[in-house]
Amino acid sequence: GTIWDARNTSLTIDQWAVKIEEALEQAGRSEAIFNVDPNDNREFDTIFIGGGAAGRFGSAYLRAMGGRQLVIDRWPFLGGSCPHNACVPHHVFSECAAELMLARTFSGRFWFPKMDGVTVNMKEIVDLFRRGRTGPHAVMNYQSKEQLDIEFVLNAPARIIDAHTVEVAGRRFKARTLVLGLGARPQRLAVPGVDLKGVYDYTSFVETLDYEPGNTAVVVGGSKTAVEYGCFFNATGRRTVMLVRSQLLKLIPDADTRTYVIDRMRDQGIEIIEGAEVVRIEGDSRGRVAKLVAKTPNGPLEIKTDFVFLGLGETPNSEAAVEALGVKTDPKTGAVLVDDSLRTSVPNVYAVGDLIGAPMEMFKARKSGTYAARAIMGQAISYRPTDWPDFLHTHYEVTWLGLGEDEARKRYRNVVVIRMPPHNPNGLDIGLPASDRVMLYAMAKPRMSGFQKLVIDGDSRRIVGAHHVGYGARDAFQYLYVLVKQGLTIDQLGDMDELFLNPTHFIQLSRLRAGQKELRDL
Ligand code: FDA
Ligand code: COM
């Protein structure tokens, strides 16, 4: 492979965008991008294989600690799948879903256009994302090179030679250790017809969608990706059928919250079939999807469609590391096994990010990268996420931490709940909660304005769970989680300073009850 040396040029962010776009268009045939310091004679402390969130953050941290790293990625940019086909497009589509639900709800009123019967062009949004994503890509390269002093080789696949040696673009690099950050890929469905044109997963959807899908979208799967993309397809105005093998959104821990979420999905017209199993996908004479056949608890089902989306979870990309190094993997998931210092079964080889399995989330990718860096630089560290705040999108943003009410009742004898809307004779049809992005709903369609619940151990007065459906609470939950871990009580929460109207209402609602010695539900 030929090499383009980035060392002596300082590309602007715009120039990086052009470079990355060209490289992506040539799909791996263009030259490798080298940013390796020829004047640094130190041995590399580590080579990160894979420059996604895990490899990039690990690189930055190790560099900041005064070590020397190299990070290699086959794509022409650092940052990995997040900006390319995962988080960023997901948030684009989820924003569209939220905007479109608002526009459809208020169709023809105020300034909203008439949306009855309108199907929104979804290829246009995919194309918009594909054009726009090189912006964030370029920032990653600029920041990594100019601000973080990361050494990298991009736009060329790495080949692991042994636990100290990696080959890329015809050159061999040696290091004291290796960090594997190879990420994960969408799981496939083992039924006839999955290779037909018109069957997508989260990567092929953004890379290859080249027609405007018809009026019916079928989504296979029932967790985050399936729901996030399914709600987008629905919001574009298409009939959307979700085929879920077991239960939809099992991961939402609080039953009331989960019910609120699923009821609102159904209100938007999503057809949800649980206990469904895809039997086959049939094509037309041109090799395009025409029909999906499934088994359901109510008997066989056939759906005519030209668009099927598989949202089935992910498989870690561990094969190359198993082959080259013999690292041990989990036989069920394929995840590379690591100890609490991110060490694999092979000496001097670490693994991070999606490659080591659940939770496949950005916080874990980035943190595991930095913890591996610290271990390599000689710090005694321990990292194993067992509990974390979490979220997903429907047309709403759904956020939670800690225990759902039922689980809390199993663990504590005196559980107290604060919820909005409260239990009341008018059910959900009352004008609260209200806050950012739900004010119009609160005034005109209160049932749609969200749901929230705080779960408290009445004896210790500690918060043990928090749950939110609406918009804008995710940020608060990041910090609230830390406070809850530290033992946050209803009294401390009620003593904080709210910036009213605020998405969760937790502070002011807690203050209404904090005066009580024996706490009661609200
Ligand atoms: P990542 O996949 O980013 O990096 C692996 C890198 O390895 C890639 O860049 C790849 O090119 C490279 N590579 C592989 N083989 C190679 C080789 N042989 N040589 C060189 N390079 C090689 N999380 C979250 O916190 N919030 C969110 O909103 C979302 N949303 C979301 C939506 C969807 C649809 C998905 C699928 C996932 C999410 N996630 C998420 C999860 C998040 O995207 C994920 O956890 C991180 O991107 C994982 O980062 P890694 O660095 O582990 O892998
Ligand atoms: C973010 C990519 S989109 S990274 O985590 O900053 O590398």
pLDDT at residue 201 greater than cutoff 90: yes
pLDDT of residue 29: 84
Mean pLDDT taken over the chain: 98
- Mean pLDDT, rounded, for 126-143: 98
**Cα angle 393, 194, 52; round to 5:** 50
Establish whether residue 92 lines the binding site of ligand 1, counting it when its CB lies within 6 angstroms of any ligand atom: no
For the whole model, what pTM was predicted? 0.98
CB of 79 shorter than 6 A to ligand 2? yes
Taking CA atoms, 22 is separated from 29, 31, 210, 468, in Å, by 10, 11, 20, 43
Residue with the smallest CA separation from ligand 2 atom 5 is: 53
Answer yes or no: are the C-beta atoms of 289 and 296 closer than 8 Å.
no
Would you state the pLDDT for residue 1?
Answer: 61
Interatomic CA distance for residues 252 and 152, integer angstroms:
39
Give nearest CA residue, ligand 2 atom 3: 83
Q: Is 506 in the pocket of ligand 1 (CB under 6 A)?
A: no
> In this predicted complex, what is the ipTM?
0.99
Beta strands at 397-402 and 390-393: parallel, antiparallel or unpaired = antiparallel
Ligand 2 within 6 A of CB of 51: no
Helix (H) or strand (E) holding 491: helix 490-494
Q: Which ligand is nearest to the CA of 150?
A: 2
**Ligand 1 nearest atom to the CA of residue 85, by list position:** 34
pLDDT digits over 407-455, tens only? 999 999 999 999 999 999 999 999 999 999 999 999 999 999 999 999 9
CA–CA distances in Å: residue 347 to residues 176, 337, 365, 416: 11, 13, 21, 50
Instruction: Tokens 């079928």: give the residue.
Output: 218
CA dist 240 and 215 (Å) reads 9
Is residue 286 packed enough to be buried (19+ CB in 10 Å), middle (13-18) or exposed (0-12)?
exposed
203: part of which helix (H) or strand (E)?
A: helix 202-208
Q: Candidates 200, 233, 362, 391: which one to mutate for ligand 1, based on the most atoms within 8 Å of Cβ?
A: 362
Q: What is the pLDDT of residues 463-517, one digit of tens each?
A: 999 999 999 999 999 999 999 999 999 999 999 999 999 999 999 999 999 999 9
**Helix (H), strand (E) at residue 273:** strand 271-274
Pick the closest to residue 491 from 473, 474, 476, 506 (CA basis).
506
Task: Give 11's contacts (C-beta < 8 A, 6+ positions apart).
Answer: 19, 141, 142, 145
H, E, C per residue of 425-453: CCCCCCCCCCCCCCHHHHHHCHHHCCEEE
User: pLDDT digits over 442-468, tens only?
Assistant: 999 999 999 999 999 999 999 999 999
Q: Please, how many CA atoms are within 13 Å of residue 64, restricted to the half-sphere of its CB? A: 13
What amino acid positions are annotated as catalytic residues?
78, 82, 87, 137, 500
267, two tokens: 């209100």
Q: Which residue in this structure is represented by tokens 């559980």?
A: 415
Buried residues in 294-319 as b, exposed as e (16+ CB within 10 A): beeeeeebebebbbbbbbbbbbbbbe
